[in-house]
Amino acid sequence: MANSAGKRVAVTGMGIVSPLGIGVEANWEAVTAGRSGIGPITKFDTSRFKTRFAGELKGFKAEDFMSPKSVKRLDEFIHYAVAAARLAMDQSGLPVTDDNSGRIGCIMGTGLGGLSTLERYHTVLMEKGPDRISPFFIPMLIGNMAPGQISIEFGVKGPNLSVSTACSAATHAIGQGFHLIRDQGYLGMICGGSEAVITELAVGGFNAMRAISTRNDEPEKASRPFDKDRDGFVMGEGAGVVFLEDMEHALARGAPILGEVIGFGMSGDAFHMTAPPEGGEGAVRCMRAALDDAGLKPEDIGYINAHGTSTDLNDLYETQAIKTVFGEYAYRLPISSTKSMTGHLLGAAGGVEAIITLLAMEHGLLPPTINYETPDPECDLDYVPNQARPARVDCAMSNSFGFGGTNGTLIFKTVRS
């Protein structure tokens, strides 16, 4: 049952660094224009690889968001996390003080943590020996150093947690933050996800799985969720972070109310290491759990930001799951996958997509699924193909489904003045 007695939870800050740009404004402009952030990989020589493209960050300078000393001691995924958190906290404008610091926490998700650091120091070990390993090696790469460093940067002393649930990680982080405020009375939570794994080992590993696209001749068209000719997801990197706050407190201080979190659901597939179960049965239970948590009927949802990875089974079974949950209404419900533009940011995906969902509600404009050229007869819903669409949406859903059969769904509500 929905928790009607709990506190209301506002979103008062948002921060994104992604292949589409640095900051919320740059990302929103790119998403609504239907512009891809995918291009050739520049981080390493890709000549030996089946896939030679990804969604890399462009123009990012970690020194703009943290001290040069910290930059040297931390992996890129932590740089991205701190940057997105700083953007979110700057927008929120909430001062962290001795009086409130214990009531503000940080929960961040990541799928693979500091893989680039691991690769780099494995080379050091093999070529130069163990004595040349940096004393910062371990804290540079462990997943919980993203929320750990954010807590240090902002002085927040409440719950400090890392979530590692593959591609659901950021969604789970936001959902847990939402429940801590709603049900346990915390004042605020910095929540989201970060990922930086465009590395030789990761690309090689996903190639070995045959999970990522090999459309090297047209990388900007490679991520094509729900399209019949999809051939795998496209890797991306970056971070998406929201600041969640007790609604009553936010209103009292005149904070920007960017939306409200009203529901969160989780489920497990217990089926396969990487594939979803037929019909998306786990996703069905996850979406229904979020609707129940929010106290909504399926028809109350006006838009879904789909997980939509551009892989055969995910797109098919998410479509089937939506049909099961929403019935005939599914055919009138707009759905889009912004991974068609950002690529798949893995553990950060849910954070970026939560923010895009909130922006779609705020601006009354639904982001498109680009590269939708050849309809798949089995994926026959309204995927907002190729162009953004004006629409008034009061409640929207964002889905994330991860390897290991771990699922998360968030529901947001517009707070209109």
Catalytic-residue membership of 307: yes
Q: Say how many CA atoms lie within 13 Å of 260 toward its Cβ.
A: 19
* Catalytic-labelled residue, pool 167, 191, 286, 395: 167
Q: Is 207 helix (H, G, I), strand (E, B) or coil?
A: helix
Q: How far is CA 288 from CA 98, 273, 322, 325, 343, in A?
A: 40, 23, 10, 7, 27
Helix/strand number for the chain, H first, E second: 13, 15
* Catalytic-labelled residue, pool 79, 172, 249, 307: 307
CA 148 to chain centre: 19
Catalytic-residue membership of 344: yes
For residue 311, with 0-12 CB atoms within 10 Å meaning exposed, 13-18 middle and 19 or more buried, which class applies? Answer: buried
Closest CA to 286 of 163, 164, 401: 401
Assign residue 115 a region: left if phi > 0, alpha if psi is -120 to 50, beta otherwise? alpha
Q: How many degrees, rounded to 5, is the angle at CA 223 between CA 222 and CA 226?
A: 120
* Catalytic-labelled residue, pool 79, 172, 249, 344: 344
Active site residues: 167, 307, 344
